[in-house]
């Protein structure tokens, strides 16, 4: 009997690189987290640079009452001339006396607050006591020194885990922020399968008490939640390992792992997932024509690289040349690695110059990379896809499977149109 594992990427050696990185910091994740948690406020304790990053990442969205802001550390704070803790207390007082809608306040660390070693955990503890029970104050870091952009969500959710109630009852917790419409699709399928109760972390409001304990099982919808994973396991919850729910196969495998955990029969499973799976397969088939037999190269950016490489190779007929990821967390991405055929170079971390040399030598048909690298690579004749778009676009589960394939086929289509026009 051949050892099938040898033929997948599971046992492939990993090239580990440490050097200059080209990624956004964890503050970026506030943009999608504040939309998800309707009664939360994210107060970044940082500099004017941090405020600018947030404003430009938020783009044109102007809120009458925004749910994120920056407590600016002035030069005097940075020089240690004033007590930044007192300043922070005053800022929080001003905010909470004006905004009774805030039920969860996140104090978000940044590079400047890390550099001056401002202890935000102490501040969160002090302020939590002061404003309990109406407001819960939690701290996490989004500093570019410590986090890449999707790690901001991981830090945030991991910081919430110790605040969750203890519960002995059997339940499923689904971990990862998803757009509401996608979360509804997921809940609907789980409910048709007869699986419940289901809680989602993060919940849309602080009132939706999520509890956790030895009988909790959890499934992740985002592969960048390594700290949250450890925090949940630390509270006694059991992880359900599965490929991530991208595409028809990934989504089926994700639901199947949960269904097996809850003892759902094969017949029931097939009757529920059969129709949406067939729709997804048709949509992928259509959208992925142009991707068949093409090559793809992933720079490390969103941490979605391994599951997406699995989708592109196993469901869209692409060949991966290199799959770069900022961190390779096997308990989370192992099931996807098992489904990627041996062949591509797996790399973890980044030394951007060396990696650019490899990308330019290999000239993949499609290069998935961060914003900063896309233009220079396009100028060298490569087709690129911005990795950050994959985090901001709904791509999970069956109904989005065709759109996900479409996100990758569009740059190739655009380039072939440009070539045709140039030839005419």
The footprint of ligand SF4 (CB under 6 A) covers 25, 27, 46-47, 49-50, 53, 110-111, 142-144
Minimum CB separation of residue 149 from ligand SF4 in Å reads: 9
**Cβ-based nearer residue to ligand SF4, 115 or 278:** 115
**Cβ-based nearer residue to ligand SF4, 96 or 120:** 120
Are the C-beta atoms of 259 and 214 separated by less than 8 Å? no
Minimum CB separation of residue 112 from ligand SF4 in Å reads: 6
Q: How many residues does the chain have?
A: 424
Are the C-beta atoms of 157 and 201 separated by less than 8 Å? yes
**Cβ-based nearer residue to ligand SF4, 77 or 315:** 77
| End-to-end CA, the chain | 55
Residue 38 structure tokens: 């309707």
Burial class (CB in 10 A: 0-12, 13-18, 19+), 261: middle
Minimum CB separation of residue 27 from ligand SF4 in Å reads: 5
Minimum CB separation of residue 351 from ligand SF4 in Å reads: 19
**Cβ-based nearer residue to ligand SF4, 15 or 58:** 58
Q: How far apart are CA 358 and CA 157, in angstroms?
A: 35
**Cβ-based nearer residue to ligand SF4, 143 or 383:** 143
- Report the alpha-carbon angle 350-301-20, nearest 5: 30
Minimum CB separation of residue 328 from ligand SF4 in Å reads: 23
Residue 29 structure tokens: 């994740």
Minimum CB separation of residue 261 from ligand SF4 in Å reads: 38
Are the C-beta atoms of 382 and 364 separated by less than 8 Å? yes
User: Please, which residues bridge with residue 238 across strands?
Assistant: 217
Residue 28 structure tokens: 């970026």
Q: Give the H or E element holding residue 105.
A: strand 104-109
User: Please, which residues bridge with residue 349 across strands?
Assistant: 17
Minimum CB separation of residue 26 from ligand SF4 in Å reads: 7
Q: How far apart are CA 325 and CA 393, in angstroms?
A: 19
**Cβ-based nearer residue to ligand SF4, 28 or 303:** 28
**Cβ-based nearer residue to ligand SF4, 114 or 399:** 114
């Amino acid at each position: 009997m051949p050892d099938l594992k040898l033929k997948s990427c599971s046992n492939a050696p990993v090239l580990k690189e440490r050097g200059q990185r080209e990624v956004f910091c964890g503050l970026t994740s506030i943009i999608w987290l504040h939309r998800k948690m309707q009664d939360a406020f994210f107060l970044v304790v940082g500099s004017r640079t941090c405020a600018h990053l947030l404003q430009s990442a938020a783009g044109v969205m102007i809120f009458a009452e925004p749910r994120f802001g920056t407590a600016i550390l002035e030069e005097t704070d940075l020089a240690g001339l004033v007590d930044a803790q007192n300043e922070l207390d005053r800022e929080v007082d001003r905010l909470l006396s004006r905004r009774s809608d805030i039920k969860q306040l996140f104090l978000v660390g940044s590079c400047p607050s890390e550099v001056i070693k401002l202890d935000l955990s102490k501040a969160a503890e002090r302020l939590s006591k002061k404003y309990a029970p109406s407001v819960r104050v939690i701290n996490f870091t989004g500093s570019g020194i410590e986090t890449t952009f999707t790690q901001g969500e991981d830090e945030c959710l991991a910081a919430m885990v110790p605040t969750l109630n203890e519960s002995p009852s059997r339940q499923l917790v689904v971990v990862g922020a998803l757009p509401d419409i996608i979360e509804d699709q997921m809940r609907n399928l789980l409910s048709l399968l007869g699986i419940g109760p289901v809680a989602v972390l993060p919940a849309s409001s602080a009132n939706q008490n999520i509890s956790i304990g030895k009988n909790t099982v959890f499934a992740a919808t985002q592969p960048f939640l390594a700290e949250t994973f450890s925090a949940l396991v630390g509270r006694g919850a059991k992880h359900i390992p599965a490929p991530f729910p991208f595409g028809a196969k990934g989504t089926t495998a994700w639901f199947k792992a949960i269904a097996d955990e809850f003892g759902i029969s094969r017949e029931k499973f097939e009757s529920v997932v059969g129709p949406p799976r067939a729709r997804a397969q048709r949509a992928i088939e259509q959208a992925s024509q142009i991707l068949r037999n093409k090559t793809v190269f992933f720079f490390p950016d969103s941490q979605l690289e391994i599951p997406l490489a699995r989708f592109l190779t196993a469901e869209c007929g692409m060949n991966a040349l290199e799959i770069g990821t900022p961190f390779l967390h096997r308990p989370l991405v192992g099931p996807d690695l098992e489904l990627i055929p041996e062949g591509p170079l797996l790399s973890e971390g980044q030394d951007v110059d060396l990696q650019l040399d490899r990308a330019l030598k290999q000239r993949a048909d499609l290069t998935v990379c961060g914003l900063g690298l896309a233009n220079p690579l396009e100028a060298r004749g490569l087709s690129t896809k911005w990795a950050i778009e994959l985090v901001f676009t709904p791509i999970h589960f069956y109904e989005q499977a065709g759109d996900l394939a479409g996100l990758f086929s569009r740059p190739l289509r655009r380039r072939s149109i440009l070539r045709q026009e140039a030839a005419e």
